[in-house]
A and B are shown apart, each in its own frame.
Chain A
Amino acid sequence: MLDVAQREFLTVLRTRALLAVGVGYVLLVGGVAWLAGTGSYLALVLDLLTPVELLVPVLAFAVGYRALLGDRESGELQTIRTCPVSGHWYVFGVYLGRAVVVVGVVVLGHAVAGAAVPMSGASTLSVVASHATVDSPALYLRFVPVTALFALVALALALLVSATARSSRAGLALATGAVVALVAGLDGALLGSLTAGVVPPDAATALLGLSPNTAYRSLVFELSVAPTGVTVPEGHAALLGGVALVTWLVGALGLASVLAWR
Protein backbone atom coordinates (compact mmCIF):
# COMPACT_ATOMS: atom_id res chain seq x y z
CA MET A 1 0.00 0.00 0.00
CA LEU A 2 2.86 2.37 0.76
CA ASP A 3 4.26 1.85 -2.72
CA VAL A 4 0.91 2.82 -4.20
CA ALA A 5 0.81 5.83 -1.90
CA GLN A 6 4.31 6.84 -2.91
CA ARG A 7 3.39 6.65 -6.59
CA GLU A 8 0.34 8.83 -6.01
CA PHE A 9 2.35 11.35 -4.03
CA LEU A 10 4.97 11.59 -6.77
CA THR A 11 2.30 11.75 -9.48
CA VAL A 12 0.82 14.85 -7.89
CA LEU A 13 4.22 16.44 -7.35
CA ARG A 14 5.15 15.77 -10.98
CA THR A 15 1.91 17.18 -12.41
CA ARG A 16 2.25 20.91 -12.98
CA ALA A 17 -1.49 21.61 -13.04
CA LEU A 18 -1.94 20.03 -9.62
CA LEU A 19 1.07 21.86 -8.25
CA ALA A 20 -0.47 25.08 -9.52
CA VAL A 21 -3.70 24.28 -7.69
CA GLY A 22 -1.76 23.69 -4.48
CA VAL A 23 0.22 26.91 -4.84
CA GLY A 24 -3.03 28.70 -5.63
CA TYR A 25 -4.59 27.43 -2.43
CA VAL A 26 -1.66 28.63 -0.33
CA LEU A 27 -1.67 32.04 -2.02
CA LEU A 28 -5.41 32.50 -1.67
CA VAL A 29 -5.64 31.45 1.97
CA GLY A 30 -2.50 33.39 2.84
CA GLY A 31 -3.74 36.33 0.79
CA VAL A 32 -7.06 36.48 2.61
CA ALA A 33 -5.27 36.56 5.96
CA TRP A 34 -2.67 39.11 4.96
CA LEU A 35 -5.16 41.37 3.21
CA ALA A 36 -7.48 41.24 6.21
CA GLY A 37 -4.55 42.29 8.36
CA THR A 38 -6.25 41.08 11.49
CA GLY A 39 -4.44 41.04 14.81
CA SER A 40 -6.55 38.27 16.26
CA TYR A 41 -6.51 34.51 15.77
CA LEU A 42 -10.22 34.31 16.42
CA ALA A 43 -10.90 36.93 13.76
CA LEU A 44 -8.59 35.07 11.40
CA VAL A 45 -10.58 31.88 11.89
CA LEU A 46 -13.79 33.72 11.13
CA ASP A 47 -12.22 35.46 8.12
CA LEU A 48 -10.98 32.17 6.69
CA LEU A 49 -13.94 29.95 7.46
CA THR A 50 -16.13 30.81 4.49
CA PRO A 51 -13.37 30.91 1.85
CA VAL A 52 -11.96 27.64 3.16
CA GLU A 53 -15.34 25.94 2.87
CA LEU A 54 -15.08 26.58 -0.87
CA LEU A 55 -11.34 26.28 -1.42
CA VAL A 56 -10.79 22.98 0.40
CA PRO A 57 -13.31 21.02 -1.72
CA VAL A 58 -11.89 22.60 -4.87
CA LEU A 59 -8.37 21.61 -3.85
CA ALA A 60 -9.36 18.07 -2.83
CA PHE A 61 -11.41 17.39 -5.94
CA ALA A 62 -8.72 18.80 -8.22
CA VAL A 63 -6.19 16.44 -6.66
CA GLY A 64 -8.45 13.42 -6.37
CA TYR A 65 -11.16 13.25 -8.99
CA ARG A 66 -8.94 11.66 -11.66
CA ALA A 67 -6.90 9.49 -9.30
CA LEU A 68 -8.74 6.25 -10.20
CA LEU A 69 -10.56 7.47 -13.29
CA GLY A 70 -7.31 8.27 -15.08
CA ASP A 71 -5.95 4.76 -14.63
CA ARG A 72 -9.26 3.25 -15.69
CA GLU A 73 -9.44 5.37 -18.83
CA SER A 74 -5.86 4.64 -19.80
CA GLY A 75 -6.34 0.92 -19.16
CA GLU A 76 -3.61 0.67 -16.53
CA LEU A 77 -6.13 -0.27 -13.87
CA GLN A 78 -6.72 -3.55 -15.74
CA THR A 79 -3.02 -4.29 -15.64
CA ILE A 80 -2.87 -3.48 -11.94
CA ARG A 81 -5.81 -5.80 -11.33
CA THR A 82 -3.79 -8.74 -12.65
CA CYS A 83 -1.40 -8.23 -9.72
CA PRO A 84 -2.17 -9.83 -6.37
CA VAL A 85 -3.41 -6.63 -4.74
CA SER A 86 -6.91 -6.07 -3.39
CA GLY A 87 -9.08 -3.21 -4.51
CA HIS A 88 -9.42 -1.99 -0.94
CA TRP A 89 -5.68 -1.76 -0.37
CA TYR A 90 -5.10 -0.16 -3.74
CA VAL A 91 -7.71 2.55 -3.17
CA PHE A 92 -6.43 3.19 0.35
CA GLY A 93 -2.93 3.56 -1.07
CA VAL A 94 -4.14 6.02 -3.68
CA TYR A 95 -5.98 7.94 -0.97
CA LEU A 96 -3.03 7.98 1.39
CA GLY A 97 -0.59 9.30 -1.20
CA ARG A 98 -2.88 12.09 -2.32
CA ALA A 99 -3.98 12.87 1.23
CA VAL A 100 -0.40 13.65 2.19
CA VAL A 101 -0.32 16.28 -0.54
CA VAL A 102 -3.72 17.76 0.27
CA VAL A 103 -3.07 17.94 4.01
CA GLY A 104 0.40 19.34 3.36
CA VAL A 105 -1.03 22.11 1.19
CA VAL A 106 -3.75 22.89 3.74
CA VAL A 107 -1.28 23.04 6.63
CA LEU A 108 1.16 25.16 4.62
CA GLY A 109 -1.56 27.54 3.55
CA HIS A 110 -2.79 27.96 7.08
CA ALA A 111 0.73 28.40 8.40
CA VAL A 112 1.20 31.27 5.98
CA ALA A 113 -2.17 32.68 7.02
CA GLY A 114 -1.42 32.23 10.73
CA ALA A 115 1.85 34.10 10.36
CA ALA A 116 -0.16 37.16 9.36
CA VAL A 117 -1.50 37.67 12.88
CA PRO A 118 1.71 38.43 14.80
CA MET A 119 3.09 40.33 11.83
CA SER A 120 0.01 42.46 11.25
CA GLY A 121 0.80 44.96 13.96
CA ALA A 122 -2.90 45.27 14.71
CA SER A 123 -3.80 44.97 18.38
CA THR A 124 -7.56 44.99 18.37
CA LEU A 125 -10.14 42.55 17.22
CA SER A 126 -11.96 43.73 14.16
CA VAL A 127 -14.76 41.21 14.36
CA VAL A 128 -15.30 40.30 17.98
CA ALA A 129 -14.09 43.40 19.76
CA SER A 130 -14.91 42.33 23.29
CA HIS A 131 -12.90 39.15 23.36
CA ALA A 132 -9.36 40.35 22.84
CA THR A 133 -8.29 39.00 26.20
CA VAL A 134 -9.20 35.43 25.39
CA ASP A 135 -7.71 35.35 21.93
CA SER A 136 -4.99 32.75 21.63
CA PRO A 137 -2.95 30.92 18.96
CA ALA A 138 -4.51 27.75 20.39
CA LEU A 139 -7.80 28.72 18.78
CA TYR A 140 -6.12 28.81 15.42
CA LEU A 141 -4.17 25.62 16.13
CA ARG A 142 -7.50 23.85 16.64
CA PHE A 143 -8.85 25.30 13.43
CA VAL A 144 -6.03 23.87 11.29
CA PRO A 145 -6.44 20.14 12.07
CA VAL A 146 -10.21 20.43 11.81
CA THR A 147 -9.71 21.95 8.36
CA ALA A 148 -7.28 19.15 7.52
CA LEU A 149 -9.95 16.61 8.53
CA PHE A 150 -12.45 18.43 6.33
CA ALA A 151 -9.93 18.22 3.46
CA LEU A 152 -9.56 14.46 4.04
CA VAL A 153 -13.34 14.06 3.82
CA ALA A 154 -13.47 16.09 0.62
CA LEU A 155 -10.66 13.97 -0.85
CA ALA A 156 -12.49 10.76 0.04
CA LEU A 157 -15.55 12.09 -1.76
CA ALA A 158 -13.35 13.00 -4.72
CA LEU A 159 -12.09 9.41 -4.86
CA LEU A 160 -15.67 8.19 -4.73
CA VAL A 161 -16.42 10.34 -7.77
CA SER A 162 -13.26 9.02 -9.42
CA ALA A 163 -14.32 5.43 -8.78
CA THR A 164 -17.84 6.05 -10.05
CA ALA A 165 -17.21 8.01 -13.25
CA ARG A 166 -16.61 6.09 -16.45
CA SER A 167 -15.29 8.97 -18.59
CA SER A 168 -13.40 12.22 -18.16
CA ARG A 169 -16.49 14.22 -19.04
CA ALA A 170 -18.61 12.35 -16.52
CA GLY A 171 -15.87 12.68 -13.92
CA LEU A 172 -15.60 16.43 -14.40
CA ALA A 173 -19.37 16.83 -14.28
CA LEU A 174 -19.66 14.70 -11.16
CA ALA A 175 -16.77 16.49 -9.46
CA THR A 176 -18.23 19.90 -10.25
CA GLY A 177 -21.64 18.81 -9.05
CA ALA A 178 -20.17 17.37 -5.87
CA VAL A 179 -18.30 20.58 -5.06
CA VAL A 180 -21.42 22.67 -5.65
CA ALA A 181 -23.46 20.26 -3.54
CA LEU A 182 -20.90 20.39 -0.74
CA VAL A 183 -20.48 24.14 -0.73
CA ALA A 184 -24.05 25.23 -1.30
CA GLY A 185 -26.49 22.48 -2.12
CA LEU A 186 -26.59 20.46 1.06
CA ASP A 187 -26.42 23.51 3.29
CA GLY A 188 -29.17 25.14 1.28
CA ALA A 189 -31.34 22.07 1.50
CA LEU A 190 -30.90 21.87 5.26
CA LEU A 191 -31.60 25.56 5.71
CA GLY A 192 -34.59 25.37 3.40
CA SER A 193 -35.99 22.42 5.31
CA LEU A 194 -35.66 24.27 8.58
CA THR A 195 -37.16 27.53 7.37
CA ALA A 196 -40.00 25.76 5.58
CA GLY A 197 -40.81 23.87 8.73
CA VAL A 198 -40.23 20.51 7.07
CA VAL A 199 -37.69 19.79 9.77
CA PRO A 200 -38.38 20.99 13.33
CA PRO A 201 -35.68 23.24 14.82
CA ASP A 202 -35.06 20.66 17.54
CA ALA A 203 -33.85 18.25 14.92
CA ALA A 204 -31.27 20.65 13.52
CA THR A 205 -28.43 19.12 15.50
CA ALA A 206 -29.21 15.65 14.23
CA LEU A 207 -29.11 16.92 10.67
CA LEU A 208 -25.59 18.28 10.96
CA GLY A 209 -24.13 15.07 9.67
CA LEU A 210 -25.99 15.32 6.40
CA SER A 211 -23.58 17.95 5.14
CA PRO A 212 -19.80 17.72 5.55
CA ASN A 213 -19.57 21.50 5.31
CA THR A 214 -22.10 21.98 8.10
CA ALA A 215 -20.36 19.40 10.24
CA TYR A 216 -17.01 21.13 9.61
CA ARG A 217 -18.46 24.53 10.43
CA SER A 218 -19.99 23.23 13.64
CA LEU A 219 -16.65 21.77 14.69
CA VAL A 220 -14.87 25.06 14.03
CA PHE A 221 -17.48 26.96 16.03
CA GLU A 222 -17.25 24.51 18.89
CA LEU A 223 -13.47 24.22 19.04
CA SER A 224 -12.22 27.61 17.93
CA VAL A 225 -14.99 30.12 18.49
CA ALA A 226 -17.06 28.95 21.47
CA PRO A 227 -14.08 28.81 23.90
CA THR A 228 -13.71 32.58 23.55
CA GLY A 229 -17.15 33.08 24.98
CA VAL A 230 -18.70 34.03 21.70
CA THR A 231 -22.19 32.62 21.42
CA VAL A 232 -22.37 30.07 18.63
CA PRO A 233 -25.54 28.80 16.99
CA GLU A 234 -27.29 26.36 19.28
CA GLY A 235 -27.33 22.73 18.44
CA HIS A 236 -23.80 22.53 17.06
CA ALA A 237 -22.03 19.76 18.87
CA ALA A 238 -18.36 18.99 18.43
CA LEU A 239 -18.86 15.29 18.92
CA LEU A 240 -21.61 15.06 16.35
CA GLY A 241 -19.64 17.12 13.86
CA GLY A 242 -16.55 14.97 14.30
CA VAL A 243 -18.49 11.73 14.02
CA ALA A 244 -20.24 13.03 10.94
CA LEU A 245 -16.98 13.93 9.21
CA VAL A 246 -15.37 10.59 10.04
CA THR A 247 -18.49 8.78 8.84
CA TRP A 248 -18.40 10.66 5.54
CA LEU A 249 -14.71 9.84 5.17
CA VAL A 250 -14.97 6.13 5.92
CA GLY A 251 -18.19 5.71 3.96
CA ALA A 252 -16.92 7.47 0.84
CA LEU A 253 -13.60 5.66 0.91
CA GLY A 254 -15.19 2.27 1.50
CA LEU A 255 -17.64 2.74 -1.33
CA ALA A 256 -14.88 3.98 -3.62
CA SER A 257 -12.82 0.87 -2.90
CA VAL A 258 -15.74 -1.34 -3.91
CA LEU A 259 -16.63 0.61 -7.04
CA ALA A 260 -13.05 1.03 -8.27
CA TRP A 261 -12.53 -2.70 -8.82
CA ARG A 262 -15.76 -3.28 -10.77
Chain B
Amino acid sequence: MRLHHTTRTDGPTDDRAAVEVERVSHSFDGLDVLGDVSFSIEAGTVACVVGPNGSGKTTLLRLVAGLLDPDDGTVSVAGATGRRVGYLAQQPAFRGQFTVRETVDFYGALVETSPDVDAILERVGLSAVADRRVDALSGGMRRLLGIAQTMVGDPSVFVLDEPSSGLDPTMGRHIREVIDDLTAAGGAVLLSTHDLRAVERVADTVLLLDHGELVAAGRPEELLAEADAQRLETAIETLGPDAGAASVASGLRGGENA
Protein backbone atom coordinates (compact mmCIF):
# COMPACT_ATOMS: atom_id res chain seq x y z
CA MET B 1 0.00 0.00 0.00
CA ARG B 2 1.34 3.40 -0.90
CA LEU B 3 0.52 6.56 0.89
CA HIS B 4 1.64 10.14 0.70
CA HIS B 5 2.07 12.95 3.17
CA THR B 6 1.76 16.00 0.97
CA THR B 7 -0.58 17.42 -1.55
CA ARG B 8 -0.90 14.55 -3.97
CA THR B 9 -3.59 11.92 -3.78
CA ASP B 10 -1.61 9.00 -5.13
CA GLY B 11 1.73 7.45 -4.18
CA PRO B 12 5.02 7.40 -6.05
CA THR B 13 4.41 6.91 -9.76
CA ASP B 14 7.41 4.62 -10.01
CA ASP B 15 6.66 1.33 -8.24
CA ARG B 16 10.33 0.86 -7.42
CA ALA B 17 10.56 4.24 -5.72
CA ALA B 18 10.31 4.46 -1.94
CA VAL B 19 10.54 8.24 -2.09
CA GLU B 20 9.53 10.46 -4.96
CA VAL B 21 10.17 14.18 -4.85
CA GLU B 22 8.70 16.13 -7.75
CA ARG B 23 9.39 19.77 -8.51
CA VAL B 24 9.50 20.73 -4.86
CA SER B 25 10.03 24.33 -3.83
CA HIS B 26 10.13 25.82 -0.38
CA SER B 27 10.75 29.24 1.09
CA PHE B 28 11.00 30.74 4.55
CA ASP B 29 9.63 34.25 4.99
CA GLY B 30 9.87 34.91 1.28
CA LEU B 31 13.44 33.61 1.02
CA ASP B 32 13.68 30.75 -1.47
CA VAL B 33 15.43 27.81 0.17
CA LEU B 34 14.64 25.07 -2.34
CA GLY B 35 13.61 25.46 -5.94
CA ASP B 36 12.16 22.89 -8.33
CA VAL B 37 13.93 19.88 -6.83
CA SER B 38 13.05 16.42 -8.20
CA PHE B 39 14.50 12.98 -7.51
CA SER B 40 13.49 9.52 -6.36
CA ILE B 41 15.02 6.89 -4.11
CA GLU B 42 14.56 3.17 -4.59
CA ALA B 43 13.98 0.80 -1.70
CA GLY B 44 17.16 -0.72 -0.34
CA THR B 45 19.38 2.13 -1.50
CA VAL B 46 21.12 5.13 0.01
CA ALA B 47 20.82 8.63 -1.40
CA CYS B 48 23.30 11.17 -0.05
CA VAL B 49 22.49 14.86 -0.20
CA VAL B 50 25.66 16.92 -0.33
CA GLY B 51 26.19 20.62 -0.56
CA PRO B 52 27.68 23.49 1.40
CA ASN B 53 26.09 24.93 4.52
CA GLY B 54 22.90 26.77 3.66
CA SER B 55 22.36 24.87 0.43
CA GLY B 56 18.99 23.53 1.63
CA LYS B 57 19.95 20.02 2.73
CA THR B 58 18.16 20.07 6.08
CA THR B 59 15.08 21.69 4.56
CA LEU B 60 14.94 18.97 1.91
CA LEU B 61 15.26 16.27 4.56
CA ARG B 62 12.55 17.85 6.70
CA LEU B 63 10.24 17.99 3.68
CA VAL B 64 10.73 14.29 3.04
CA ALA B 65 10.25 13.54 6.76
CA GLY B 66 6.91 15.35 6.63
CA LEU B 67 7.99 18.07 9.07
CA LEU B 68 7.48 20.74 6.42
CA ASP B 69 5.00 21.05 3.59
CA PRO B 70 6.35 22.14 0.22
CA ASP B 71 5.18 25.44 -1.21
CA ASP B 72 5.05 23.75 -4.61
CA GLY B 73 5.49 20.21 -5.83
CA THR B 74 4.93 16.91 -4.10
CA VAL B 75 6.75 14.53 -1.81
CA SER B 76 5.48 10.97 -1.97
CA VAL B 77 6.60 8.28 0.42
CA ALA B 78 5.81 4.59 0.00
CA GLY B 79 4.70 2.58 2.96
CA ALA B 80 1.86 1.08 4.87
CA THR B 81 -0.10 2.87 7.54
CA GLY B 82 1.71 3.84 10.71
CA ARG B 83 5.16 5.33 10.71
CA ARG B 84 6.51 5.66 7.20
CA VAL B 85 9.58 7.81 7.84
CA GLY B 86 12.14 7.40 10.60
CA TYR B 87 13.85 10.74 11.18
CA LEU B 88 17.21 11.44 12.79
CA ALA B 89 17.70 15.11 13.58
CA GLN B 90 21.07 16.77 13.13
CA GLN B 91 21.46 17.00 16.91
CA PRO B 92 19.28 14.19 18.23
CA ALA B 93 18.07 14.90 21.74
CA PHE B 94 16.17 12.79 24.21
CA ARG B 95 15.20 13.36 27.80
CA GLY B 96 18.20 12.73 29.99
CA GLN B 97 16.15 11.39 32.89
CA PHE B 98 15.27 8.22 30.99
CA THR B 99 17.27 5.15 30.08
CA VAL B 100 18.06 4.05 26.55
CA ARG B 101 15.52 1.23 26.84
CA GLU B 102 12.80 3.51 28.20
CA THR B 103 13.39 5.96 25.37
CA VAL B 104 12.98 3.35 22.65
CA ASP B 105 9.95 1.95 24.49
CA PHE B 106 8.40 5.42 24.51
CA TYR B 107 8.72 5.75 20.74
CA GLY B 108 7.23 2.29 20.41
CA ALA B 109 4.22 3.52 22.35
CA LEU B 110 3.95 6.58 20.12
CA VAL B 111 3.79 4.47 16.97
CA GLU B 112 1.47 2.04 18.75
CA THR B 113 3.66 -0.97 18.36
CA SER B 114 5.46 -3.20 20.79
CA PRO B 115 8.94 -3.04 19.33
CA ASP B 116 11.54 -5.68 20.13
CA VAL B 117 13.68 -3.18 21.98
CA ASP B 118 16.49 -5.64 22.61
CA ALA B 119 16.70 -6.47 18.91
CA ILE B 120 16.76 -2.82 17.92
CA LEU B 121 19.45 -1.99 20.46
CA GLU B 122 21.41 -5.00 19.26
CA ARG B 123 21.21 -3.77 15.67
CA VAL B 124 22.66 -0.38 16.55
CA GLY B 125 25.12 -1.70 19.13
CA LEU B 126 23.60 -0.19 22.26
CA SER B 127 22.69 -3.40 24.11
CA ALA B 128 25.43 -2.89 26.67
CA VAL B 129 24.06 0.49 27.69
CA ALA B 130 20.35 -0.31 27.48
CA ASP B 131 19.80 0.62 31.12
CA ARG B 132 22.04 3.67 31.11
CA ARG B 133 20.43 7.08 31.39
CA VAL B 134 20.50 9.18 28.23
CA ASP B 135 22.33 12.00 30.02
CA ALA B 136 25.20 9.58 30.63
CA LEU B 137 25.63 8.68 26.94
CA SER B 138 28.41 9.96 24.70
CA GLY B 139 27.55 12.01 21.61
CA GLY B 140 28.04 8.98 19.38
CA MET B 141 25.81 6.81 21.53
CA ARG B 142 23.09 9.46 21.43
CA ARG B 143 23.34 9.43 17.65
CA LEU B 144 22.95 5.65 17.71
CA LEU B 145 19.96 5.99 20.02
CA GLY B 146 18.56 8.44 17.49
CA ILE B 147 18.97 5.84 14.76
CA ALA B 148 17.45 3.16 17.03
CA GLN B 149 14.43 5.40 17.44
CA THR B 150 14.06 5.66 13.65
CA MET B 151 13.71 1.87 13.45
CA VAL B 152 10.67 1.75 15.73
CA GLY B 153 7.56 1.03 13.72
CA ASP B 154 9.53 -0.44 10.79
CA PRO B 155 9.32 2.60 8.51
CA SER B 156 10.18 2.13 4.85
CA VAL B 157 12.21 5.32 4.65
CA PHE B 158 14.97 6.64 6.90
CA VAL B 159 15.89 10.32 6.81
CA LEU B 160 19.20 10.94 8.56
CA ASP B 161 20.50 14.48 8.94
CA GLU B 162 24.31 14.33 9.14
CA PRO B 163 24.35 11.01 11.00
CA SER B 164 28.13 10.91 11.46
CA SER B 165 28.78 14.59 12.03
CA GLY B 166 31.28 15.26 14.82
CA LEU B 167 31.94 11.61 15.56
CA ASP B 168 35.29 9.87 15.78
CA PRO B 169 36.25 7.61 12.85
CA THR B 170 35.37 4.41 14.70
CA MET B 171 31.89 5.61 15.56
CA GLY B 172 31.47 7.03 12.06
CA ARG B 173 32.34 3.63 10.61
CA HIS B 174 29.91 1.93 12.96
CA ILE B 175 27.12 4.24 11.87
CA ARG B 176 27.85 3.43 8.22
CA GLU B 177 27.49 -0.25 9.11
CA VAL B 178 24.13 0.47 10.71
CA ILE B 179 23.06 2.30 7.55
CA ASP B 180 24.11 -0.74 5.50
CA ASP B 181 21.93 -2.83 7.82
CA LEU B 182 18.95 -0.55 7.20
CA THR B 183 19.22 -0.86 3.43
CA ALA B 184 19.88 -4.60 3.60
CA ALA B 185 16.52 -4.86 5.33
CA GLY B 186 14.89 -3.06 2.41
CA GLY B 187 14.81 0.46 3.78
CA ALA B 188 15.46 3.51 1.66
CA VAL B 189 17.90 5.95 3.26
CA LEU B 190 18.16 9.64 2.54
CA LEU B 191 21.01 11.25 4.40
CA SER B 192 22.86 14.53 4.32
CA THR B 193 26.55 14.84 4.93
CA HIS B 194 29.65 16.93 4.32
CA ASP B 195 31.83 13.85 4.35
CA LEU B 196 32.60 12.97 0.72
CA ARG B 197 34.69 9.92 1.61
CA ALA B 198 31.69 8.49 3.45
CA VAL B 199 29.52 9.33 0.46
CA GLU B 200 31.83 7.36 -1.82
CA ARG B 201 31.46 4.35 0.49
CA VAL B 202 27.71 4.29 1.14
CA ALA B 203 25.91 6.25 -1.58
CA ASP B 204 23.93 4.60 -4.32
CA THR B 205 22.80 8.03 -5.43
CA VAL B 206 24.39 11.42 -4.89
CA LEU B 207 22.26 14.56 -4.86
CA LEU B 208 24.28 17.76 -5.11
CA LEU B 209 22.49 20.83 -3.81
CA ASP B 210 23.69 24.36 -4.24
CA HIS B 211 21.71 27.43 -3.26
CA GLY B 212 18.58 25.32 -3.04
CA GLU B 213 18.90 23.83 -6.51
CA LEU B 214 19.72 20.27 -7.43
CA VAL B 215 22.74 20.88 -9.67
CA ALA B 216 23.77 17.25 -10.14
CA ALA B 217 22.33 13.84 -9.36
CA GLY B 218 23.26 10.28 -10.13
CA ARG B 219 25.21 7.25 -9.02
CA PRO B 220 28.72 8.08 -7.79
CA GLU B 221 30.34 6.25 -10.69
CA GLU B 222 28.11 8.11 -13.13
CA LEU B 223 29.14 11.44 -11.67
CA LEU B 224 32.80 10.40 -11.77
CA ALA B 225 32.49 9.27 -15.38
CA GLU B 226 30.58 12.34 -16.41
CA ALA B 227 33.21 14.57 -14.85
CA ASP B 228 36.08 12.33 -15.94
CA ALA B 229 37.33 12.43 -12.36
CA GLN B 230 38.83 9.96 -9.92
CA ARG B 231 37.45 11.57 -6.78
CA LEU B 232 33.95 12.73 -5.95
CA GLU B 233 35.31 16.04 -4.74
CA THR B 234 36.78 16.71 -8.16
CA ALA B 235 33.61 15.57 -9.88
CA ILE B 236 31.55 17.98 -7.80
CA GLU B 237 33.83 20.86 -8.74
CA THR B 238 33.38 19.94 -12.38
CA LEU B 239 29.65 19.24 -12.36
CA GLY B 240 28.55 22.12 -10.20
CA PRO B 241 27.35 25.34 -11.79
CA ASP B 242 30.10 27.65 -12.97
CA ALA B 243 29.36 30.29 -10.41
CA GLY B 244 28.88 27.96 -7.51
CA ALA B 245 31.16 24.99 -8.09
CA ALA B 246 34.14 26.31 -6.18
CA SER B 247 32.07 27.25 -3.15
CA VAL B 248 30.25 23.94 -3.22
CA ALA B 249 33.46 21.96 -3.23
CA SER B 250 35.11 24.13 -0.61
CA GLY B 251 32.08 23.76 1.64
CA LEU B 252 32.19 20.01 1.28
CA ARG B 253 35.92 19.77 1.86
CA GLY B 254 35.31 21.36 5.23
CA GLY B 255 33.42 18.23 6.31
CA GLU B 256 34.01 16.11 9.32
CA ASN B 257 35.44 12.69 9.89
CA ALA B 258 36.05 10.09 7.29
Contact = CB atoms under 8 A, between A and B. Distances in A.
B246 interface: no
Interface stretch (A10-18, A40-48, A126-134, A246-254): A10-18
Interface stretch (A79-87, A157-165, A190-198, A210-218): A79-87
Interface of A: 3-4, 7, 10-11, 14-15, 74-76, 78-85
A82 B85 contact: yes
B89 interface: yes
B102 to A, nearest CB: 8
A82 B112 CA distance: 13
B95 A7 contact: yes
A82 B97 contact: no
Interface in B44-63: 62
B39 interface: no
A20 to B, nearest CB: 15
Contacts of A11: 95, 97-98
Closest 3 CB pairs of A and B: A3-B109, A74-B93, A14-B97
Contacts of B95: 7, 11, 76
B83 A83 contact: yes
A78 B146 CA distance: 12
18 contacts: A3-B110, A10-B98, A14-B98, A74-B94, A75-B89, A75-B91, A76-B92, A76-B93, A76-B95, A79-B88, A79-B89, A79-B92, A79-B149, A81-B67, A82-B85, A82-B87, A83-B107, A84-B111
B65 interface: yes
B106 A7 contact: yes
Contacts of A78: 62, 67, 87, 89
B91 A84 contact: no
A105 B121 CA distance: 37
Nearest to A81: B67
B67 A82 contact: yes
B218 interface: no
B70 interface: no
A78 B90 CA distance: 11
Nearest to B90: A75
A178 B156 CA distance: 44
B92 A84 contact: no
B66 to A, nearest CB: 6
Contacts of A83: 83, 107, 110-111, 153
Given A3-B110, A11-B95, A76-B93, A84 B83 contact: yes
A84 B94 CA distance: 18
Contacts of B90: 75
- Chain A interface helix/strand/loop/mixed: helix
B18 to A, nearest CB: 16
Contacts of A3: 106, 109-110
B80 to A, nearest CB: 11
A7 B65 contact: no
Contacts of A79: 87-89, 92, 107, 146, 149
Nearest to A13: B97
B82 interface: yes
B86 interface: yes
Nearest to A3: B109
Interface in B131-185: 146, 149, 153
A84 B112 contact: yes
A85 B110 contact: yes
Given A14-B97, A80-B110, 6 more contacts: A10-B97, A76-B94, A79-B89, A82-B86, A83-B153, A85-B111
Nearest to A7: B106
A10 B149 CA distance: 20
B149 to A, nearest CB: 7
A82 B98 contact: no
Contacts of A10: 97-98
Contacts of B65: 82
A72 to B, nearest CB: 10
B191 to A, nearest CB: 15
Contacts of A7: 95, 98, 106
Contacts of A74: 93-94
B118 to A, nearest CB: 19
Interface in B190-246: none
Nearest to B94: A76
A81 B149 CA distance: 13
A197 B92 CA distance: 56
A11 B90 CA distance: 24
A75 B97 contact: no
Contacts of B98: 7, 10-11, 14
A82 B62 CA distance: 10
B92 A75 contact: yes
A82 B153 CA distance: 11
